[in-house]
Amino acid sequence: MSSTRFSHIDSLRAIAALLVIWMHTSEQFVLIATPSIQDRLHDFAALIDVGRIGVVIFFAVSGFVIPSSLRGERRESCREFLIKRLFRLYPVYWFSIPFGLITFWYIWGKDISLSSILWNLTMLQEAMGHPSVQGQYWTLQTELAFYVLCVVLFVQGVLRSPTVLIGLIFAFSTFTLLPLLVAFVGHPLPYTPDPVLTMLSLHLSIMFWGALFRMWYDGQALPVLAKLSVFGFVGLWAMFAGVAVTYYMVKVDPDIKVIHFFIPYAIGIVTFLALATVCKLNWAWLAWLGAISYSLYLFHPVVMYSMVWVIQNCHIEWLQHWYTGAYMAVALLGTIGMSALTYKYIELPAIRMGNALARRSRTPVQIVPQAGVLK
């Protein structure tokens, strides 16, 4: 593990990926497994939406890491940043697309147009009205939006301004939460915000909170308002979660969607804060899983849907009548094995190539000899 990485942050990535895998595999395998107490693995995951908790942790980690990689001369830093991000995200993502086409579409007899497939190559498919080849791709579009905003703010010289970050956190949070809160007290807004933009705004608020948290984490001198915002954001979501639980328990006709919205976001934010500060996990195996977490995220549906298809269609006797947890464990092990290979042979070479191209793109420093120095 490179000494330039935070091993406990890699561990957070691993936990996030494992939570997403838990959610998705339990949803699928509980439908075909022999009923048992292990079905509670799905019931609990569905109750608090552990997959959403994982996504929240992923977004907070991006906020913690990404803005700090933009430093130095603006044009050169932006060029290096974009090259490195391109080679970090796209090669293994492109590699996952044909696997997703086979395991999510073709073997199940579902159709997807060529234009949708081509749009998937950009990561912008859903913004252009096309379905994703794999459902979890939607988070990558949010990542791209965050990268663009970081570059714009960096060029303007305000990416590390606590005041600007506080303003963005407040603006994005308000855009999402204000309509919900006023509707909750019986005064809905006269218009309904677009759900896609609403969720994008919410996730951007978490990412920029992660960026502000990083400034506090690094020991930078921050105004009192910035420090209050770092921990006030966590407290606010904890309060929302408490209100949601109370509302669900005392209401005559409770709506589980209230729990599913507030609880996972609160747990995700609190978990990130705790594991980034007071409960740092520096286990080597967990940090290694964090290093390959992008592949884990991309390829777990490939393994999962392949298993489901084989179990349902191949009628292999020894694969029948397992319990939910057994299917989940095998899918996890298969995902780790596949991800270790894609990380070694796809991700790492692409990352090294991106780093090499970024270094090559730097403007060479010209040394002008002074008169009388060379004779």
311-362 pLDDT, tens digit per residue, is 999 989 999 999 999 999 999 999 999 999 999 999 999 999 999 999 887 7
Residue 332 falls within a domain, yes or no? yes
**Does this model's pTM top 0.85?**
yes
d(CA 148, CA 155): 11
264-306 pLDDT, tens digit per residue, is 999 999 999 999 999 999 999 999 999 999 999 999 999 999 9
Would you tell me how many other CB atoms lie within 10 Å of the CB of residue 168?
21
Residue 181 falls within a domain, yes or no? yes
Residue 31 falls within a domain, yes or no? yes
d(CA 31, CA 354): 43
d(CA 33, CA 273): 36
Residue 366 falls within a domain, yes or no? no
CA angle 221, 266, 258 (to 5 degrees): 145
pLDDT at 374 over 70: no
How big is the chain, counted in residues?
375
d(CA 326, CA 338): 18
Range of the domain at 47: 7-360
Specify the pLDDT at position 102: 97
Count of domains observed in the chain: 1
Q: Is 217 exposed, middle or buried (0-12, 13-18, 19+ CB in 10 A)?
A: middle
Specify the pLDDT at position 190: 75
d(CA 298, CA 295): 5
Residue 370 falls within a domain, yes or no? no
What Rg value do the Cα atoms of the chain yield, rounded?
23
Tokens 């094995």 sit on residue? 337
Residue 367 falls within a domain, yes or no? no
Residue 34 falls within a domain, yes or no? yes
Amino acid letter for position 187: H
Residue 373 falls within a domain, yes or no? no
d(CA 16, CA 10): 10
d(CA 81, CA 59): 18
